[in-house]
Amino acid sequence: MSFTTLGLREELLKAIKELGFEKPMPIQQKGIPPLLKGEQDFIGLAQTGTGKTGAYGLALLQRLDLDNPKPQVAVICPTRELCLQIADDLRGFAKHLPRVTVVPIYGGASIVQQLHQLHRGAQIVVATPGRLLDMIKRKAANLSKVSCVVLDEADEMLNMGFKEDLDAILESMPKEKRTWLFSATMARGVAEIAKHYLSNPLEVTVGGKNQSAENITHVCHVLHEKHRYQGLKRIIDFAPEIYGLVFCRTRSETQAVAEDLMQDGYLAETLHGDLSQAQRDSVMRKFRQKTIRILVATDVAARGLDVDDITHVIHYRLPDDAAIYTHRSGRTARAGKSGMSIALVNLREIYRINEMEKRSNIVFQRRKIPNGKAICEKQLFSLVEKIVQTDAGSAEIEEYLPAVMETLSAFDKKDLIKRFVSAEFTRFLDYYRHAGDINVDFRSERSDRGDRSDSPRYPSRNERSYSSARPPARSHRAPESENSQRFMLRFSGRMNHVNKGAIIRMVCEKSGIASQLITGMDLQQDHALFSVDKRVATQVLKSVQHAKLDGKTVQIEAVMDEKASHKRHPRD
């Protein structure tokens, strides 16, 4: 199928050609014709990297009334990065149309300039929910005449606690508009939004519901906790051309892993919630330019991170939620390419791989971490390939060649090759010379504990011996009392701009946990109560203490008896 059969106007086809898109991606093939007709609301279940911006962007540009300067379309997305990316993509598609005004509106940047841009006219507003709502309240963004709203990465917006803001935004728009919703997963909250705000939607799924992209290879390595960092290094060393993301669970771990990698000579940097916007922009610029090859990030900080060509996503620690795993791994294998998603797990975590397989239809290949010999071989051949590919005609070295030739003239060809390769290669040879096997032999570990399974490999999903060995399954949303810890967050004074979403975002940003682990939020004037999964309780307590909310410091404490705590701390 080609773009010309989709019914797009000449100007758009010309821009597509210039962008180098040869044929429409599946979501574009299936989505563009019905979106152009505009007869129905639309749900597109598609990962990032599947071309969904093109699907809705081309359709909404064709439907735009070019003579009307008022806001006609709002695209709402979770993060500043994504917002800027979408606005850029739309401008690229609209290159040959008479002037189309696209204005990105996002938090964390000067509101004055954005107000000015809105004032000058915006046919398409691309926005993050919090700032957009602010603009609506200030009457700076008038969305009362929009004919179409796109919710991009709806599941991420809900994960970030934007439900209330989204509700308020959608309520402010005309009832008869079209709503196009895109999400990687049909999580419960997304289904609720769809039920509430979409009427008779057409649903198009690319790559299977709640399923990871097809061209991702999912791999799991089992090791002892003490070998986790070594395991990471081996994976990186085994992939000489790696351009990867490493996910950790907390800011401090992210920082520590990145620092260790840098110290060990890798082109690595860290991305987490403590970085200022300028630091974040600088890290992202270096990563996009590939002067950094490995970015170590928390889930929260990596939201909206939209980079092509990622070869590896490494889960230094697994997330709590299969949906987050899907999001993480969806950063690779974009635009039809292939990629690897690699999880490092210790013995106590293996059962979670099984759980994940059940919940998300992902099948992990249980592979051994490469040993020193395999890594050295891989590096050696990569070096040889690099030498073959090197352009030897550079004029700059020409003037030094006679002297170099003179010095090396005593060696024959074979000797020379050996010396060059050894010089380049010594780092790996030295490091891995005495490196042992860090794989955990799952079978022998289990048999120490009385498991008599004879299976010589890590049992995969649906295998009885494996299921019997793992701890009893835990439901993700644990019952409040047993598996969760209640916290009280005290505010020092009146909070003017705090809603539940803002608290959830602050807790997630500070502690690096997923928003799904926060439940039962009760917001009062001077405090908020909420529960978190017990597994992350200490992490939350440590990282949220003295954090800032609405510009003021908060205090957090664990609540053992909620009634008693209410007595101690009466409401105003």
Using CB under 6 A, list all residues that contact ligand AMP. Answer: 21, 24-25, 28, 48-54, 306, 308, 334-335
Nearest distance from C-beta of residue 52 to ligand AMP, angstroms = 5
Residue 155 or 306 with smaller CB distance to ligand AMP? 306
Tell me the residue nearest to ligand AMP as measured from the CB: 53
Q: Which is nearer to ligand AMP, 54 or 501 (CB)?
A: 54
In the complex with ligand AMP, the residue whose CB is nearer, 77 or 170, is: 77
Cβ proximity to ligand AMP, 75 vs 190, nearer residue: 75
Convert 7-27 to b/e letters by CB count within 10 Å (16 or more is b): ebeebbbebbeeeebeebbbb
Which residue number, 333 or 343, has a Cβ lying nearer to ligand AMP? 333
How near is the Cβ of 21 to ligand AMP at its closest, in Å?
Answer: 4
67-88 burial, b at 16+ Cβ within 10 Å, e below that, comes to eeeebbbbbbbbbbbbbbbbbe
CB nearer to ligand AMP: pick between 28 and 341: 28
**Which CB, 90 or 271, lies closer to ligand AMP?**
90
Strand order in the sheet with 552-559: 518-523, 527-533, 484-491, 552-559, 548-549
Smallest gap from residue 501 Cβ to ligand AMP (A): 25
Q: How far apart are alpha carbons 297 and 271 in whole angstroms?
A: 5
Q: How far is the CB of 175 from ligand AMP (least distance, A)?
A: 29
Between 100 and 478, whose beta carbon lies closer to ligand AMP? 100
Residue closer to ligand AMP (CB basis): 21 or 364: 21
Q: How far is the CB of 287 from ligand AMP (least distance, A)?
A: 15
Nearest residue to 62 via CA among 21, 92, 28, 97: 97
Residue partners of 57: CB distance under 8 A and separation at least 6 = 86, 89, 90, 93
Is residue 130 within 8 Å of residue 474, measured between CB atoms?
no
Residue nearer to ligand AMP on the CB measure, 48 or 354: 48
CB of 200 to ligand AMP, least distance (A): 26
What type of residue sits at position 205? Answer: T
Closest approach of ligand AMP to the CB of residue 337, in Å? 9
Distance CA 501, CA 496 (A): 14
Q: Whole-angstrom Cα distance, residue 327 to residue 59?
A: 25
What does the angle CA 54 – CA 59 – CA 60 come to, to the nearest 5 degrees? 105
* Type of residue found at 170: L
Helix, strand and coil content of the chain, in percent to the nearest 5, comes to 45, 15, 40
Kind of pairing between the strands at 268-271 and 294-297: parallel
Residue by residue, DSSP assigns 389-447 as HS-TT-HHHHTTHHHHHHHHTTS-HHHHHHHHHHHHHHHHHHHHTT----B--HHHHHH
Distance, CA of 93 to CA of 517 (rounded, Å): 39
DSSP states along 37-99? HT-S-EEEE--TTSSHHHHHHHHHHHHS-TT--S--EEEE-S-HHHHHHHHHHHHHHTTTSS-
Q: Work out how close the CB of 93 gets to ligand AMP at its nearest, in angstroms, rounded to a whole number.
A: 10
Quote the least distance from Cβ 92 to ligand AMP, whole Å: 8
**Cβ at position 51, least distance to ligand AMP in Å:** 4
